[in-house]
Amino acid sequence: MLSEIIVNTIFKTLDLKQTEKDNILSKLVYIQVKKGELLLTQNHDVKDQFFVLNGCLRTYHLDDSGKEHTLQFAIKDWWISDYIALWANRKSVLNVACIQDAELVKISQQDLDQLFSEVPKLNAFFRLKLQNAFVRQEKRILANLTKTAKERYLDFLKVYPDFEKHIKNFHIASYLGITTESLSRIRKEISLKA
């Protein structure tokens, strides 16, 4: 199922030689995940990261009381993993669940590190991805500290347009750090003003 088209899709901003594309392609694995399946689970080893070709996944932590705390949704053209475990060489602290049937490309950190040596352009590509992710996380932390729940919900709609109807209310509420009742109240308030 993997082809050069996949490499061109993932690394569309890079001008890669054919030998580089072939090398990258040899390290990628195509997988399909069904809605409800767990891609990663807490307290396990994490060796891979995943690129979303289509579908939607959710990263969350399950605390000791059984409450879910959603950190991220990953949609088309996004990368996802438990980076705490992957880069700190620890057991996973997060779960990655498929909330909409998905097609993914998987690459191991070991293969990616090898590609960094063999295809140096990938270093800059992933550094930029990491910088953008770090900026998004800091903005999210700042929003959680300074914005109202309604403002955070409106921000969510900008980041994840058209996915609201595919994501369960309690997942969205968990991502926003509010209750499902508060989410319903915010939606009602917005619809009355529209």
* Class of 4-119 in CATH: mainly beta
For residue 12, name the pLDDT band (cuts at 50, 70, 90): very high
- Please provide the average confidence, as pLDDT, over all residues in the chain: 93
For residue 1, name the pLDDT band (cuts at 50, 70, 90): low
pLDDT of residue 28 exceeding 90? yes
> Which of 154, 158, 153 minimizes the C-alpha distance to 171?
153
The DSSP symbol for 67 reads -
DSSP three-state, residue 126: helix
Q: Give kind and range of the element (H or E) at residue 181.
A: helix 180-193
Task: Give the model confidence (pLDDT) of 37-64 as tens digits.
Answer: 999 999 999 999 999 999 999 999 999 9
Mean pLDDT calculated for residue range 90-114: 96
Which pairing describes strands 68-74 and 48-62: parallel, antiparallel, or unpaired? antiparallel
Task: Give the model confidence (pLDDT) of 122-179 as tens digits.
Answer: 999 999 999 999 998 999 999 999 999 999 999 999 888 877 777 889 999 999 999 9
In this predicted structure, what is the pLDDT of residue 2? 73
pTM, rounded to two decimals = 0.90
The DSSP symbol for 168 reads -
pLDDT of residue 182 exceeding 70? yes
* Portion of the chain with pLDDT greater than 90, in percent: 84
* Portion of the chain with pLDDT greater than 70, in percent: 99
> Any idea where the domains of the chain sit in the sequence?
4-119
Q: Are 77 and 12 in contact (CB under 8 A)?
A: no
